[in-house]
Amino acid sequence: MPSTQAQAQLLPNATSEESQEQPAPEWPEDSLGRRTPRGTVYGFINAVAKRNYSRASRYLHLDPGLQNSQEGARVAQVLQRLLDRRGDIMPYAWISNDTTGRVDDNLPPGIDRVGTVTVDGETITLLVEETRGPDGGPIWLFASETVDRIAAITETDNLLLVDRFLPSFLKERLWGGVPIGHWLVMVVLLVAAYLLAWGITSLFLYLIRLLWRRAATEPTAGIIKAFAVPIRIYLTVWLFVFSSQEVGISIIVRQRFSEITIIIGLLALLLLLWRLTEFISGFTERRLTLRNHISGVSAVLFLRRVAKIAIVFFGIIAILGTFGVDVTAGLAALGIGGIALALGAQKTVENFVGSVTLIADQPIRVGDFCKIGDTVGTVEQIGMRSTRIRTLDRTIVTIPNGELSSTKIENYAHRDRFRFFTVFGLRYETTPDQMRYLLVEMRAILYAHPKVDPDPARIRFIELGSASLNLEVFAYIHAKDFNQFMEIREDLLLRMMDVVEASGTGFAFPSQTLYLARDKGLSKEKTNHAEETVRKWREEGEMQIPNFDASRINELKGSIPYPPQGSAQQDNTK
């Protein structure tokens, strides 16, 4: 018994779990197509177009006793007349085609908004609500609240504005349940709306150019031109819809045109994006061409092509959605395919992103001499996938842009000065006064040379080496390129060698010196001269050690002729 009771207690839970796992039932098609809000509105419009108001009343939530009576047909006819007179029904694409209706419209579940009508200055919202049919399936009808308010209206048979001016033969002959005159008036309104929109936009553009001077110059003129045609089209659509409501065009005709107007509005937006893409890419391309930025031009052309494809793709999706085509499955399939494509083309995407980074950041440009990793050479081409470097051996090295964007790049073309650095190793026989002489005279050369930046320009006695007394020279040289730097460095080294020779000492060798009988040794005369010069500096207080006086530096600036005297370029240098 206990086990039986336990099983009895478990049965309800098991039944509820099974019911939760069962899929929602699929109801048979309703003969009037009322399973969804869109089907209800579409069926009502078709019924009144055929002037079958008894059938149209079956789309209204009426009391059961009024469903097949004349009162139901009267309410349906009143609703049509109200819609004809400045009423409005949302385009079919905006009305839910799900059995559950919309869930994102801030309305209670089972209620959707589908349009509005105006009576004596009061706006009535047209609502549809979910009910249950005889088979238990969902049936959407115009809400009882909406039907009650419309039924309370005593509709007079006043002629619509458009019917007051149409001849009788255009009102008596019908096409699609609507007088032919209404269709003709729609065509006239479309032409008039376009002419009026053209006049408004032309006047507006004229006033902008007249009152704003920058409107005639790029890029402002290009942007205004890009906006002109799409705004004209969009304004035409708005004027067309507004005027068709004001003159009282039948809701049947206006509902047929509703999807077309939405598509034209979408095309106007797509045209605006297309024209902006054309202008921005063209303007950028011209700027980059003037700067000789060939890689940037290639990137702009590629991005323009991608942007146009994206505009066409999303335009097709939006238009298909307007016609009621479910594009969710297609988008999901494209998303999965895009992921697979991205995984397969990972390196290609990485190189493309790297090229965009190089173009935006511009660490290198075509013609720059640089060092990338272990590669040293001149940049010859920056493409969408890779960059080509001409090395010093005149070979071509191709580096993928994905790798290049994450590699350390040393660009020699961007330096403003060249570093002059060398170490002189002097013989150990050099006396302290000779060393002082060298320090002063070599530093004077750096201060006096017109191509040497005096700050910092230094020469220091840095160490007693294993085989020499070492002087370190450090300075920056102003030169337009590396070749000129080599010329200036050569000139400085030669002048400093002259100073070393004038001091009476010499350069040391990285080995022991073997003195033979024929070696004359150091010049005593020059040694005495250097020592005498240092002695005079001490007596006169002009020893420029450890630093030169500012006045002495100013006296020395530019006092060395460069190129040196006797050079073939001296007469051509100003």
DSSP output for 461-476:
EEEE-SSSEEEEEEEE
Contacts for 129-132: CB closer than 8 Å, 24+ residues apart: 129/61, 130/100, 130/101, 131/61
262 Cβ partners below 8 Å, 6+ apart? Answer: 91, 93, 322
CATH class of 420-556: alpha beta
Q: 346-414 maps to which CATH number? A: 2.30.30.60
pLDDT of 159 reads: 56
Q: For residue 194, what is the DSSP state?
A: H
Question: Which DSSP state fits 143?
Answer: -
| Strand, coil or helix: 573 | coil
Q: Give the residue from 153, 151, 139 showing the smallest Cα distance to 59.
A: 139
Report how far apart the first and last C-alpha atoms of the chain are (Å, whole number).
121
For 137-146, b where at least 16 C-beta lie within 10 A, e where not — what string?
A: bbbbbbbbeb
pLDDT (tens digit, 0 to 9) for every residue of the chain, 574 residues total? Answer: 344 444 333 444 444 444 444 455 577 787 888 888 988 888 888 888 888 888 888 888 887 665 556 778 888 888 888 888 778 888 888 888 888 888 777 888 888 888 888 887 788 888 888 888 777 788 888 888 888 888 887 655 565 666 667 677 766 677 777 777 778 888 888 899 889 989 998 888 888 888 877 777 777 788 888 888 889 888 988 888 888 877 777 787 888 888 788 888 888 888 889 988 888 888 888 887 777 666 667 677 777 887 888 888 888 888 777 766 666 666 666 666 666 655 655 666 676 677 777 766 778 877 888 888 888 898 888 777 788 889 888 999 888 887 887 788 888 887 888 999 999 999 888 899 999 999 999 999 999 999 998 888 889 999 998 888 999 999 999 988 888 889 999 999 999 999 999 998 989 887 555 555 565 667 888 888 888 898 888 888 888 888 888 888 888 888 888 877 777 676 554 4
Residue 19's pLDDT is: 40
d(Cα 155, Cα 153) in Å, to the nearest integer? 6
pLDDT at 198 (0 to 100): 92
The structural domains of the chain, with segments of one domain joined by +, span 37-158, 178-343, 346-414, 420-556
pTM of the full predicted structure? 0.55
DSSP 60: B
Output the six-digit token pair for 71.
Answer: 């009162």
- Cβ pair 132, 138 in contact under 8 A: yes
